[in-house]
Each structure stands twice: as C-alpha cells, then as structure tokens.
Amino acid sequence: MENSLAALTSSLPVTTRRGSARVALIDLKEPSQNVLAECFRQFGVETVTLNGDAEDRLRREKFEACVLQLGGGAGALMEAVRTSASNCRMIMYGLGGSVQDALSYSKYGVNAVFNEPLERPAALKLVRATQTLVFHEFRRYVRIPVITEVNVVTSENRRFTVTSQEMSSGGMSFRSPEDISIGQSIEISFALLTLPRIWVRGKVTWRKPNTRSIGIRFDAQDDRRFRIKEWIEAYFES
C-alpha cells in the first residue's frame, strides 16, 4: 500500500491553501502525535489531540480526517466515526499493525495505515500522497486509498482473495498473492461501508511484480461499475 501511495507523491507538491482542514489524533502517544502534527502542518493541516473524550467530540465536531491506533478499542472509535452525522465520510488513518490487521476493520473503510515504529520520512510520504483527499481537492478521476478484501475470479475460474490499495470510478489497484498477466479478464467482488457487496468485471492493465501490485480497469460494458462511481461521488458529499 505504501508503495502504491508513494507513487502519487511526484504529482502532489507542497502547497499553501486557503481554508482549513482538521485531523483528529485520537489517543496517540506523544512521540507519534508530534511526528504526525509536524507532517500534517507542512501541508497546512491543523491537528487536534483527542484523549478520553474522543467519541463524544467526534459526534459533536467536524474533522476532515482522523488517525487512531489499530487494536484495543479501535472498533468502537471507528463505529463512532462512521455513525457521526458530520464525520461519517472522513478520511481514516490507522496507526500500527499490518495490512492484515487493518483488514479486520475493513467494514469501517480504513483508508491508509502509518507503520510503526513511526518514522518521519515514511509518515510524510503518506501524508503527501493523501493530502488532496483531506482537503477534498479532487482530480477528475479521484483515486481513494482504501483497505478491504476483494474476491477475484479469473477467466480460468481461479479464485483467490486480494487486498485493495486504491479505487476510482474507473478501476482499482490491489496487492495479489497470485500472478495475473496484463490483459487478463477477471471479475471482482467486494463490500465497503455503505456499498453492499458488488460484482464487476475488469481487465488487468498493469502489474508491478516487485510489490505484487496489480491495476485493473473496470469493463466499460458492465453497468455495475456505475454503483462504484455513485458511491465515490457520495463519499465526499458530506
């Protein structure tokens, strides 16, 4: 996931913006708070430390994103975020654990994970790659980093599960334990937040063997892809 997100950094320069965005740092240890506050500050993002009263404040105050520790009471906090009228669509970062750990919270739509031990260069790279989402500044074809399980069926009827990295209205990238060749047709299915399980056909358009990352483009003849487009548009409405 980090490699996929890092690929965006060359086109996302550091800029000074009008307006403001706030990121809630929820029950994090002070060293991590300091590193993340510095990283977000470089992009004009204000960080707010929430300790103890996080669930209550997430229901009362508006934030554009949050960072919370994976494990422990993360599920309850994520539930508070996703059921909040003002924050249900916020960008959600996890801290610590592995991608597999993040998958256990996939129903809450974790967008990206800061690895531990938290190192400033890696944290800054991830913030840089996702900052446009925090500011709701979108390109024509926005790509949303999101971690969830995706079931794959190939044209040879091979079946396996992969981990999503990014999604757009036109396609998806994921990490795959299986080798899939460019040009191969597949069908995928996944569920995400308010999007019930959906099936859609696609074709492999690129692959990076060193990272096991694969990109697919949704089949233009498959009208089911419009549900994904509608979900992405709704994701940023609130």
Domains in the chain: boundaries: 2-134, 148-235
Give me the pLDDT at residue 174, please: 95
Give me the pLDDT at residue 141, please: 53
CB 57 within 8 A of CB 81: no
Q: What's the chain's average pLDDT?
A: 85
Q: What is the pTM of this model?
A: 0.74
148-235 topology per CATH: Thrombin, subunit H (2.40.10)
pLDDT of 2 strictly over 50? no
Domain 2-134 bears CATH identifier 1.10.10.10 = no
% of the chain beyond a pLDDT of 70: 88
Please give the Cα distance from 100 to 88 (Å, whole number): 23
Please give the Cα distance from 60 to 222 (Å, whole number): 41
Please give the Cα distance from 82 to 79 (Å, whole number): 5
